[in-house]
Amino acid sequence: MLDCLRRPSFKHNQYKLERMNQMNKEEAWNLLNQYNKEEFHLEHAQVVEQTMKYFARKLGYEKEEEFWGIVGLLHDLDFEQYPNEHCIKSQELMREHGVEESIIHATASHG
């Protein structure tokens, strides 16, 4: 498995609980729009979302396609307003909004 697709390891029950509480696409889109107004950044997030979903399917992670799409949407959450704190500020923002740690970890790992 590619390291970039490896999710943080969870005990089975922890993983199941987190999946039940996982942010959905609409919530991710709304959060993205709170911190991003420029069309370029919003379109970029959508392109990355679709790319992440494509590779999730292609690499056999169909069950996690939605997760990886949300990671794609939120990966640059902080870039427009906090470019000098990219991948750092987004962790703080996502925690403030109750985003689960697996998404925070995955988005922070790209920078």
Q: What is the pLDDT of residues 3-52, one digit of tens each?
A: 555 555 444 344 444 555 689 999 999 999 999 999 999 999 999 999 99
Of all residues in the chain, what percent are helix, strand and coil, respectively (each to 5)? 70, 0, 30
- Determine, yes or no, domain membership for 82: yes
Compute the distance between CA of residue 106 and CA of residue 24 in angstroms, rounded to an integer: 16
- Determine, yes or no, domain membership for 78: yes
- Determine, yes or no, domain membership for 71: yes
Q: Which pTM was predicted?
A: 0.81
Q: What is the pLDDT of residue 14?
A: 46
pLDDT tens column, 47-103: 999 999 999 999 999 999 999 999 999 999 999 999 999 999 999 999 999 999 999
Q: What is the pLDDT of residue 109?
A: 86
- Determine, yes or no, domain membership for 42: yes
- Determine, yes or no, domain membership for 14: no
Compute the distance between CA of residue 98 and CA of residue 78 in angstroms, rounded to an integer: 16
Number of domain units in the chain: 1
Q: What is the pLDDT of residue 22?
A: 84
Q: Two tokens at 53?
A: 């979903």
- Determine, yes or no, domain membership for 67: yes
| Domain limits for position 47 | 24-108
- Determine, yes or no, domain membership for 60: yes
Q: What is the pLDDT of residue 15?
A: 44
